[in-house]
Amino acid sequence: MYTLEDLLHLMNRLRDPQYGCPWDIKQTYATIVPHTLEEAYEVADAIERADFDHLQGELGDLLFQVVYYSQLAREEGRFEFAGVVDSITRKLIRRHPHVFPTGDLYAPLDVPRLNEEQVKQRWEEIKAEERAEKSEAPQQLSLLDDVPAALPALSRSAKLQKRAGQVGFDWPDALPVLDKVREELDEILEAMADNDPAAISDEVGDLLFSVVNLARHLKVDPETALRGANGKFERRFRFIEQALRDTHRPMEDCTLEELDALWGEAKRQEKNVPSCG
């Protein structure tokens, strides 16, 4: 069975200037990023579908992305894969003092257990301490600076709101957020009445941001919720396609009322299959 060392050797060979793969040789940090995002989503997709037969392979694809960046960095004399492992291990030991109180990775497991809320609170305190250390650098000027800009928009909205909430810039509960959602809907109607495309786009963005805030207060991950809604739409649309295929009718020939009736039938059938939700 191949090992991590074999994978690192393979990566080095792929990037060999004389004998490596032409495609791999020309890659950069920036050109690899889209592949990294795609592989991360494929891992998430396999887990959501409980496709554990393929999860191992998807995790391997994601691991290869880390190996790739590490190879690029090694070539530039920045760091190596071993440094990546060392960095994350040190960080996790530091962020779990309730498991490693002495900082010794191999110390006996005889420390008192904390409950989940205590762990979350301590985790946030430690991350705040780390941000405070970074704030000594001129470029670290805001509490929001280290929220990655490349995150999916829904996830980044939730992180920005959560970070602001840590210093009290937040609604007390979900009800006033729901009022904010209604307010944003009204503002979209006003922008539509004015026929102002730029204002419509701006207000739709505000609505989405408010919906993310509502999801956060209801302890719902917005990215997961939207992926679930996407999956539900896909199932129901495929049901409509199959129903029309069975009756030899093109969808384009159907009225909206007929399509809506089939959509309702798809919903009714899903209620009879618990796994569909």
pLDDT in tens, the chain (277 residues): 999 999 999 999 999 999 999 999 999 999 999 899 899 989 988 998 899 999 999 999 999 999 999 999 999 999 999 999 999 999 999 888 888 888 889 988 777 777 777 777 877 788 777 777 766 555 557 888 878 888 889 989 999 999 899 889 999 999 999 999 999 999 999 999 999 999 999 999 999 999 999 999 999 999 889 988 999 999 999 999 999 999 999 999 999 999 999 999 999 998 876 544 4
Q: 163 lies in which domain range?
A: 153-220
Q: Give CA–CA dist 108/220, Å, rounded.
A: 37
Number of domains in the chain: 3
Domain boundary pick from 95, 121, 140: 95
Chain-centre distance of CA 72, in angstroms?
25
Residue 73 covered by a domain = yes
Burial of 44 (0-12, 13-18, 19+ CB in 10 A): middle
The DSSP code for 274 is: G
Asked whether residue 214 falls in the same domain as residue 253, the answer is no
pLDDT of residue 181: 97
Residue 91 covered by a domain = yes
Asked whether residue 8 falls in the same domain as residue 91, the answer is yes
Domain boundary pick from 95, 116, 132: 95
Asked whether residue 187 falls in the same domain as residue 203, the answer is yes
Domain boundary pick from 191, 220, 249: 220
Q: Give CA–CA dist 72/79, Å, rounded.
A: 9
pLDDT of residue 4: 96
pLDDT of residue 276: 43
Residue 179 covered by a domain = yes
Q: How do the residues of the chain divide into helix, strand and coil, expressed in percent and rounded to 5?
A: 70, 0, 30
Q: Give CA–CA dist 140/157, Å, rounded.
A: 20
Question: What would the two tokens of residue 235 be?
Answer: 């199932």
Q: Are 177 and 217 in contact (CB under 8 A)?
A: yes
pLDDT of residue 275: 46
